[in-house]
Amino acid sequence: MLETYHFGKDILYVTDEKEAYASLRKEGCYVLPCLREGIKSEDFPGASWLVEDLEEMDKDSLELVYRRLAGLPWEILETKRCRVREMTVEDVDSFYGIYVEPSITRYMEDLFADRDEEIAYTRDYIEKVYAFYGYGMWTVLEKESGAVIGRAGISWREGYDLPELGFVIGVSWQGKGYAFEVCSAILAYAKEELLMERVQALVRPGNEKSLRLCEKLGFAYSGETELDKVKHLVLVKQL
């Protein structure tokens, strides 16, 4: 079996034949192996994606596989004024423009001082976190200008039992309701698409803007924790 699906000028090949898979991979094509009786995943070396029942895959699902194989970011959601998509290495310079403001890093971790390290971290995040979870911290873009205005998303912090909402909006776009607009949509996405039931947010005392936003989003105080020897408030929202 060899099926083809067109996405723009590119083609995604789906096959359950070992020889066809090896040949197409050698040619640099995007190939999704399909398992059948007598065929094992080991028969498709280097495959990061496998499908057991092609009939259960709709065109949208196949496009997500294609975008992952092609190294293209997934489009996550849209709000009235913003787009939220996966990060790309090309976003890094925009992030530095946002994080250069002292108020941004007063209550959160800064980017790497070395740009090459930040690019390597971003590339690793894309390849491992997105590929494993299918979600994480995403890039927020303003629709009208196309500018990267921040980051927001859902991720897991080691040692904690709940997924965590994270967000940062550049100073130039603060005070305009972007954070509430985007985070509200992300929380709805977490409930409806990721089937999450509760989400936490960790906020340092004194970070009044983030505290007010979390309260507006419906988070409630649940306790305190320590990160890097700094106290943080634990806020939890039932989705």
| CATH number of the domain enclosing 14 | 3.40.50
CA 15 – CA 32 distance, rounded (Å)? 7
Residue 196 sits in the same domain as residue 151: yes
Residue 121: give its domain's CATH number: 3.40.630.30
Residue 96 sits in the same domain as residue 175: yes
Query: Among 70, 88, 108, which residue terminates a domain?
Result: 70
pTM of this structure: 0.90
pLDDT value of position 101 = 93
Query: Among 12, 47, 70, which residue terminates a domain?
Result: 70
Residue 135 sits in the same domain as residue 63: no
Cα distances (angstroms) measured from residue 159 to each of 19, 156, 203, 235 = 44, 9, 17, 16
Residue 48 sits in the same domain as residue 81: no
Residue 59 sits in the same domain as residue 120: no
CA 81 – CA 225 distance, rounded (Å)? 34
pLDDT value of position 192 = 97
Residue 133 sits in the same domain as residue 174: yes
Residue 182 sits in the same domain as residue 147: yes
pLDDT value of position 102 = 92
Kindly calculate the radius of gyration of the chain based on its CA atoms and give it in whole angstroms. Answer: 20
Residue 24 sits in the same domain as residue 84: no
Residue 45 sits in the same domain as residue 118: no
Residue 233 sits in the same domain as residue 127: yes
pLDDT per residue as tens, the chain (239 positions): 899 999 999 999 999 898 998 999 999 999 999 888 777 778 888 888 888 888 888 888 999 999 999 989 999 999 999 999 999 999 999 999 999 999 998 988 899 999 999 999 999 999 999 988 999 999 999 999 999 999 999 999 999 999 999 999 999 999 999 999 999 999 999 999 999 999 999 999 999 999 999 999 999 999 999 988 899 999 999 99
Residue 60 sits in the same domain as residue 144: no
Give the number of domains in the chain.
Answer: 2
Residue 79 sits in the same domain as residue 24: no
Query: Among 70, 89, 115, which residue terminates a domain?
Result: 70
CA 212 – CA 134 distance, rounded (Å)? 29
pLDDT value of position 119 = 96
Containing structural domain, residue 98:
75-238
